[in-house]
Structure 1
Amino acid sequence: MINNSVLSIILGGGQGSRLYPLTADRSKPAVPIAGKYRLVDIPISNCINSNIKRMYVLTQFNSASLNQHIKNTYHFSFFSQAFVDVLAAEQTMQSDKWFQGTADAVRQSMHHFLQNEFEYALILSGDQLYNMDFQHMIEKHKESNAEISIATYPVTAKEATGFGLLKTNEENTITSFIEKPDESLLPDWTSDVSDEMKKDGRNYLASMGIYIFNRELLVELMKNPDTIDFGKEIIPNAIHDHKTVSYQYEGYWTDIGTIQSFFEANLGLTDDIPKFNLYDDNRIYTRARILPTSKISGTLLNKAVISDGCIIHADKIERSVIGVRSRIGKNSVVTNTYMMGNDSYESLEYIENNKIENVLGIGDRCNINNCILDKNSRIGDDVTINGGDHLEDTEKDNYIIKDGIVVVRKGATIPKGTII
């Protein structure tokens, strides 16, 4: 049953420069994750699991692949009011500018939202990994007679300077808020958290960038064109005049903002009991592909996640996520790697007729370590890629190195015999 009192607004983010080159020709929410999903599937699935089935996804950079994914994935009943629509930045009589920030994106799209009946606007980020029951958050919002609710997450002192921090009173009402404070200010920003969080040194409440606004208040706040960001302006200004409460969340949550965090989140799925658990009733939905089962010959697999439609002859795959339609050749070793897979297959006949020297996927006798292989990349035979802290950040035509992680670009070729 659809919750018709709630409208979900998923923010696609800006240019996604910190996730470059994964965002070179796709928007951040369209980046493939966990071998078969896209980042945008996470907030959309959380909404569907919470019976919130009216969603807008706001984006402005490289939105073609995101549009295609959503069009091919989220089909609801013809008689249902459910929808997932992409709203790209557009020129209107009111504005000829691109989205200037999170609040400005919502402001410029308000005329679309207001065509729907709703009491509460649920505003989400399109680049986070978590499972949350939004219905519970909405019920707490109603019970407290709040005008704004902010989902919060306990973080350590090391993490705190990268977030908006807040403090609450005994009733969870937010009394103060600061965006990305200097380390010297942290002693004044500790909060009351659970004993389990205290044991982990998580004494600071960080905003998760997940908000509930009462409709009337959101309409009112969006009238001021000078406020362009929720974290920097809307929230700090609103807490003094409007009841704003904290909804404290203590499950798994990570912000996929950098290559490092993206890499760690994906490889974390190979743990025996992953923190982000795909193996329970909280389903993550994505495009239904009609693919064969994976075929694996003579390969030692240890802490490996293998998606559908793969053909694998490797010697060993360890602590790696292998995406759909991946091909890995004989005598190859793949460790600590996220291989996104391919959009299509190359038949033996096609390879022979077109004299293709480097086929899609990983060739024979390769050693791949600490690496992200973007979609449709070609790793020739006898290639060695050994990422790690010993490598300096660099950018080449077919790959870049960030924080020791070698990222092979989408559709790029690493020629036979290359050593990185």
Structure 2
Amino acid sequence: MIKHNVISVVLGGGKGTRLYPLTHKRSKPAVPIAGKYRLVDIPISNCLNSGYNRIYVLTQYNSASLNSHIKNTYNFSVFSKGFVDILAAEQTAEGERWYQGTADAVRHMQRYLAHHDYDHLLILSGDQLYQIDFQEMIEQHITTGADISIATIPVNAKDATSFGILKSDDEANITAFTEKPSSDRLAGWESEVSDEMKAEGRVYLASMGIYVFNKGVLSKMLEEHKGMDFGKELIPDSIGKYKVHSYEYHGYWTDIGTIDSFFEANIGLTDDIPKFNLFDKHTIFTRGRMLPPSKVSGTILDKVVLADGCIVAAERIERSIIGIRSRVGQGTVIKSTYMMGCDFYQTLEEIAQIKEEGGILVGVGEDCYIENAILDKNCSIGNNVRIKGGAHLEDGDFETHSIYDGVIIVKKRAIIPPGTEIG
């Protein structure tokens, strides 16, 4: 294995308002995904699988649960120089304001980087789903003599309007950049791509928000350029001044910054051969929990991802993800739903007392129907509840749930009384 001298930085993002209410009490990288992971596990796992184990995670909003997850998950041997550390925004002698953008966040962490020996800084987003061998990207970066490398992915004209679009020459050097161009401005922004991509109409190179910087180049840019954001300011201004190279990626990649994309990415994991394959040699690392195996009684399961420690007695579950420690009662039907699960078990004594007092157990009760929904952690859904999302529903935010893009999101720790109908 080639040893590259790399430090990785995972950008935690801002308030994550487009993922509300999932980000109401947690930072975006801490949002649970696939029933047992957190979003931040994806970029960290890509780094570790690539042999890069010096990682900083930058965050500033609702970082308590993210701190806890990092602390309880990524512990290296005392004989290793590896680390995964949180750097939260803080008041210092140099400034009292929070991070104003991606470049501003990295600018503020320069004093931490000064204590490390490294040649390249790998900058990643904390809200994307993909599997990349970063060694290949770093190796290409070195071989081509690039100052900056940007991971790019070919997209079609419809998707191009949502990304920063790059123009490259025959040697994959980036020559121009435009941020989220309107459809009538796309003419002339086509790049040279493979015949397969051309056949699919994917002729525009979109920035994936994944960057490699040479140490000296990054320090100089951050000192000379007072811009706050890489994608909007520093990267466009670097073209022509530095050798900026495109690392073209052809695998699965999606930005999951909205409820719609988050929901589709999770439900897509239930496909027979999902585009993002969890059953792969590239391990997705996460917190190791000493949970019992899941127990299923009389339930028909079809295209279901079932995490550890679940107790399921439903009538039928299809095309859904059932997260850790989930409890589902008899007679319940769940379709196209992501149930995030629970952080704890209720004891038999607690269950008996709750029933005696007419309360509602954590999990999903009996004889419920749930479709096109996200059930956040630790919610309690009573018996005979009907929750059915769909395109006919208007967006809205309510006490126990929200509706966005036709998906009903039951909020964390929400209590839904028996007989309730939503949707």
Q: Deviations over 1:9-64 (max 9, x none)?
A: 11000000000000001000000000000000000000000000000000000000
Q: Deviations over 1:211-251 (max 9, x none)?
A: 00000011111114631000111001101110000000000
What aligned pairs does 1:237-386 form with structure 2 within 5 A after superposition?
Answer: 237-354=237-354, 355=357, 357-386=359-388
Determine the structure 2 residue equivalent to 1:58. Answer: 58
Q: Report the Cα distance in structure 2 between the residues aligned to 1:254 and 1:10, rounded to whole angstroms.
A: 16
Q: Deviations over 1:51-89 (max 9, x none)?
A: 000000000000000000000000111010000000000
Determine the structure 1 residue equivalent to 2:92. Answer: 92
1:412 has 2:414 as partner: yes
Determine the structure 2 residue equivalent to 1:78. Answer: 78
Conservation of the 8 A alpha-carbon contact between 2:169 and 2:192: no
TM-fit CA distance, 1:3: 4.2
TM-fit CA distance, 1:183: 1.3
TM-fit CA distance, 1:185: 0.7
Conservation of the 8 A alpha-carbon contact between 2:298 and 2:315: yes
Q: Report the Cα distance in structure 1 between the residues aligned to 2:71 and 2:224, rounded to whole angstroms.
A: 34
Residue type of the alignment partner of 1:129: L
Q: Report the Cα distance in structure 1 between the residues aligned to 2:89 and 2:269, rounded to whole angstroms.
A: 34
Conservation of the 8 A alpha-carbon contact between 1:3 and 1:53: no
Determine the structure 2 residue equivalent to 1:398. Answer: 400
Conservation of the 8 A alpha-carbon contact between 2:338 and 2:373: yes
Determine the structure 1 residue equivalent to 2:161. Answer: 161
Q: Report the Cα distance in structure 2 between the residues aligned to 1:169 and 1:365, rounded to whole angstroms.
A: 60
Conservation of the 8 A alpha-carbon contact between 2:169 and 2:191: no
How well do the aligned residues superpose, as a CA RMSD in angstroms? 1.1
Q: Report the Cα distance in structure 1 between the residues aligned to 2:408 and 2:199, rounded to whole angstroms.
A: 35
Q: Report the Cα distance in structure 1 between the residues aligned to 2:7 and 2:265, rounded to whole angstroms.
A: 28
Q: Report the Cα distance in structure 2 between the residues aligned to 1:361 and 1:247, rounded to whole angstroms.
A: 45
Conservation of the 8 A alpha-carbon contact between 1:2 and 1:53: no
Residue type of the alignment partner of 2:113: F
Moved over 3 A (4+): 1-4
Q: Report the Cα distance in structure 2 between the residues aligned to 1:61 and 1:224, rounded to whole angstroms.
A: 28
> What SS does the aligned partner of 2:109 have?
helix
Q: Report the Cα distance in structure 1 between the residues aligned to 2:358 and 2:254, rounded to whole angstroms.
A: 40
Conservation of the 8 A alpha-carbon contact between 1:11 and 1:57: yes
Q: Report the Cα distance in structure 2 between the residues aligned to 1:260 and 1:20, rounded to whole angstroms.
A: 11
Residue type of the alignment partner of 1:388: G
> What SS does the aligned partner of 2:66 have?
helix
Q: Report the Cα distance in structure 2 between the residues aligned to 1:11 and 1:109, rounded to whole angstroms.
A: 12
What aligned pairs does 1:87-236 form with structure 2 within 5 A after superposition?
Answer: 87-224=87-224, 226-236=226-236
The two structures have a TM-score, normalised by structure 2, of: 0.98
TM-fit CA distance, 1:358: 1.1
TM-fit CA distance, 1:2: 9.3
Conservation of the 8 A alpha-carbon contact between 2:123 and 2:210: yes
Conservation of the 8 A alpha-carbon contact between 2:121 and 2:215: yes
Conservation of the 8 A alpha-carbon contact between 1:104 and 1:225: no
The two structures have a TM-score, normalised by structure 1, of: 0.99
Q: Report the Cα distance in structure 2 between the residues aligned to 1:391 and 1:349, rounded to whole angstroms.
A: 40
Structure 1: gaps (5+ residues): none
Residue type of the alignment partner of 2:349: E
Q: Report the Cα distance in structure 1 between the residues aligned to 2:21 and 2:94, rounded to whole angstroms.
A: 34
TM-fit CA distance, 1:351: 2.2
> What SS does the aligned partner of 2:62 have?
coil
Conservation of the 8 A alpha-carbon contact between 1:41 and 1:284: yes
Conservation of the 8 A alpha-carbon contact between 1:313 and 1:331: yes
